[in-house]
Structure 1
Amino acid sequence: MRADAAAVLDQNWTGRSTVPSRSLYPHQWSWDSAFIAIGLRHVSVERARTELESLLQAQWADGRIPHIAFSPDVPRDAYFPGPDFWQARSAGGTETSGIVQPPIHALAAWLTYQADPADQGFLERVYPGLVAWHGYLRDRRTLGDAGLVAIVHPWESGMDNSPAWDSPLARVTPAPAGSFVRRDTDHAAAGDRPTDLDYGRYVELAATYRDHGYDDRETPHAFAVEDPCFNALLICSEHALADIAVTLGQDPAPHRQYAAELTDALIERLFTDGIFRARDLRAGDLIPADTVAGLIPLAVPGLPVADELLATAVGPRFRLGEARLVPSYDLTADDVDPDRYWRGPSWFNTAWLIHRGLVQLKQTSYADALRADVLTLARTTNFAEYLNPFTGEPHGAQSFSWTAALALDLAEA
């Protein structure tokens, strides 16, 4: 399995970064690169460093790390929305998208450093960009009144068509049919992907943001949501920035303070019925959809409600220890779909995050069982993008980079 996983990362390596999939995702994706670096550190620490540093070269002057850095070597129409749609560039001139993805990068940088602690130069190079990235989120994306960071597009959650986004998306008038051409269904079954209606709404949201110059204060965001996964990963990365700061002789206190404030706000604003739920800032309410995003705070160090959250994970909604990996949506919901993108299937990256939380909580039996499931399914599905939580049947792309990378990391655990 280790050799096969390393081979996947080799075949998807471009020389400066790793594409998630040669067919479906032929550019560099933000949180993919973070997960990939976590596994790459066991193959080549140098490549893991390059993965993260190349992504930071796509950072904007305002500090945001865009969710896609486009490769000039890939045909411009190979992926939609491509660079001609986004019309965006980084401070260094890289063509990018204009939205972001969950901020797990500082944690990935810290773990990469730990694979070779003799090289502090890496931390010195990435620390300023990571601080600026978190500063952008804190200063420009705190759209509510409790301090949590908001996402302004479903793609920013990383869980693109989660059922949690159905109600806020219903406010969005979709881009006209025929005004865009999807490329994802060229490489994956249409029944596994978001619907054309949802895709039209994604395009409309992105176009509105683009047409307002990606200005968070001026854009009339029809979609503005406090997502528990996004904020939980920001907390984890703030803890990592504190560790990096100590190593570099900097003051860790601001990072620890921000992490503590976010943790308090996360619980106060989003925790209910034993799980974290997203808050729709336009409607002002919690969204009554229980998704795997609501379990990701298990990875937050010292989470006060961890025992209640674990009880939900092992209960009938997610059946941790019974289902394959961790389902992306409440298995008791009437509209759960075990095969459609983020509406029920299990994913390897969310399983990795929950495993990390289980280890921190010293839940050894659950952690060991989940680790074993990841390693088995990564091998038997040819490193699939995601899978059916009941049968383990693979869906989406195969030879998927973060699946290979995170399996490698757990193989070394």
Structure 2
Amino acid sequence: MRADAAAVLDQNWTGRSTVPSRSLYPHQWSWDSAFIAIGLRHVAADRARTELESLLQAQWADGRIPHIAFSPDVPRDAYFPGPHFWQAHAASGTETSGIVQPPIHALAAWLTYQADPADVGFLERVYPGLAAWHGYLRDRRTLGPGGLVAIVHPWESGMDNSPAWDGPLARVTPAPAGSFVRRDTDHAAVTDRPTDLDYGRYVGLAATYRDHGYDDRATPHAFAVEDPCFNALLICSEHALADIAARIGRDPAPHRQYAEELTGALVERLFVDGLFRSRDVVSGEIIGAATVAGLVPLAVPGLPVADELLETALGPRFRLGETRLVPSYDLTADDFGPGRYWRGPSWFNTAWLIHRGLAQLGQLGYAEALAADLVGLAEATGFAEYVDPFTGAAHGARSFSWTAALALDVSAEGAAS
């Protein structure tokens, strides 16, 4: 499995970064690169460092790390929305998108460093950009009154068509039919992907943000949501940034303080009936949908409600240990769909995050079982993008980079234990 996983990462390597998939995702994606580095560190630590440093080359002057860095070697119409739609550039001149993805990058950088602790220079190079990235989120994306950061597009969650976004998305005027051509359905089953109506809303929302110069204060956000996964990963990365700061002689205290403040706000604002749920910033209301994003805070160090959250993971909505990996949506919901992108299937990256949380909690039995399932399914499915939570059947792209990388990571951890 390790040799096959490494081969997937080799075939998807471009010389400076790793594409998630040669077919469906032919550019560099933000949180994909972070997950990829976490696995690459075990087989090519130099490439893992390059993966993260190349992503930081796409960082904007305001500190944001965009969710796509476009490759000039790929045809401009190979992916939609492409560079012609976003009309955005990094400080380096790289063409990018204008939205972001979950901030797991500092954690990835710290784990990458641990694979080769002699290279302190890597931490010194990435720390300023990572600190600026977190600063952008803190200063520009704290849109609600409680201190949490907000996403302003469903794609920023990484869980593109989660049922949690249905209510807020209903406010969004879709782009006119015929004004764009989807590319995702060229490479994936139409029944698995978001509907044309939802896709039109995604495009309309992105166009509004673009037309306001990607200014978070000037844009009239029809969609603004405090997402538990996004905030949980920011907390985890603030802890990692504190460790990085301490290692290179910087003050870790501000990072630890912000992580503590965010943890308190996360629990106070989003923990309802044993699960973290999203909050609609526009209406101020909690969103009822029970999704895997609400379990990701298990990875937050010192989470005060971890025991209650674990009970929910083991309960009928997610059935941790009984299903394959962790379903992305409430198994008891009427609109659950085992193959519908983020509306039911299990994903390898969220399973890895929950595995990390279980291990931190000392829940080694559950953690080891989830790790074994992740590795076994990755190999059996040809490193699929996501799987049916009951049968383990493969869905989406194959030879998917973060699946290969995270299988490498948990297998390396198992070999070391």
Q: TM-score, normalised by structure 2?
A: 0.99
Q: Distance in 1 between matches of 2:258 and 2:234?
A: 10
CA offsets, 1:51-79, max 9 Å, x none? 00000000000000000000000000000
Q: Distance in 1 between matches of 2:291 and 2:229?
A: 10
1:184 aligns with 2:192: no
Q: Distance in 2 between matches of 1:60 and 1:149?
A: 18
Q: 1:170 maps to which residue?
A: 170
Structure 1 stretches of at least 4 aligned residues deviating more than 3 Å after TM superposition: none
CA offsets, 1:88-146, max 9 Å, x none? 00001000000000000000000000000011000000000000000000000000011
CA offsets, 1:193-248, max 9 Å, x none? 11100000000000000000000000000000000000000000000000001100
User: How many angstroms does 1:301 deviate by?
Assistant: 0.2
1:133 aligns with 2:104: no
2:202 counterpart SS class: helix
User: How many angstroms does 1:12 deviate by?
Assistant: 0.1
Corresponding letter in the other structure for 1:267 = V
Q: Distance in 2 between matches of 1:355 and 1:205?
A: 34
Corresponding letter in the other structure for 2:407 = A
Q: Distance in 2 between matches of 1:227 and 1:144?
A: 12
Correspondence 1:279-358 to 2 at 5 A: 279-358=279-358
User: How many angstroms does 1:353 deviate by?
Assistant: 0.1
User: How many angstroms does 1:173 deviate by?
Assistant: 1.3
Q: Distance in 2 between matches of 1:259 and 1:121?
A: 25
Q: Distance in 1 between matches of 2:202 and 2:270?
A: 24
2:335 counterpart SS class: coil
Q: Distance in 1 between matches of 2:37 and 2:194?
A: 28
Q: Distance in 1 between matches of 2:372 and 2:39?
A: 16
Q: 1:400 maps to which residue?
A: 400
Correspondence 1:61-100 to 2 at 5 A: 61-100=61-100
The percent of aligned pairs where both chains have the same amino acid is 85
Correspondence 1:36-115 to 2 at 5 A: 36-115=36-115
1:412 counterpart SS class: helix
Q: 1:363 maps to which residue?
A: 363
Q: Distance in 1 between matches of 2:172 and 2:97?
A: 20
User: How many angstroms does 1:305 deviate by?
Assistant: 0.0
Q: 2:9 maps to which residue?
A: 9
2:107 counterpart SS class: helix
Q: 1:247 maps to which residue?
A: 247
Q: Distance in 2 between matches of 1:115 and 1:368?
A: 21
Corresponding letter in the other structure for 1:230 = F
User: How many angstroms does 1:356 deviate by?
Assistant: 0.1
Corresponding letter in the other structure for 1:28 = Q
Correspondence 1:366-381 to 2 at 5 A: 366-381=366-381
CA offsets, 1:273-315, max 9 Å, x none? 1000000011110000000000000000000000000000000
Correspondence 1:136-151 to 2 at 5 A: 136-151=136-151
Unaligned stretches of 5+ residues in structure 2: none
RMSD over aligned Cα atoms: 0.3
Q: Distance in 2 between matches of 1:292 and 1:226?
A: 15
Q: Distance in 2 between matches of 1:114 and 1:81?
A: 36
Q: 1:256 maps to which residue?
A: 256
1:286 counterpart SS class: coil
Corresponding letter in the other structure for 2:58 = A
Corresponding letter in the other structure for 2:386 = Y
Q: Distance in 2 between matches of 1:106 and 1:46?
A: 17
Q: 2:391 maps to which residue?
A: 391
1:285 counterpart SS class: coil
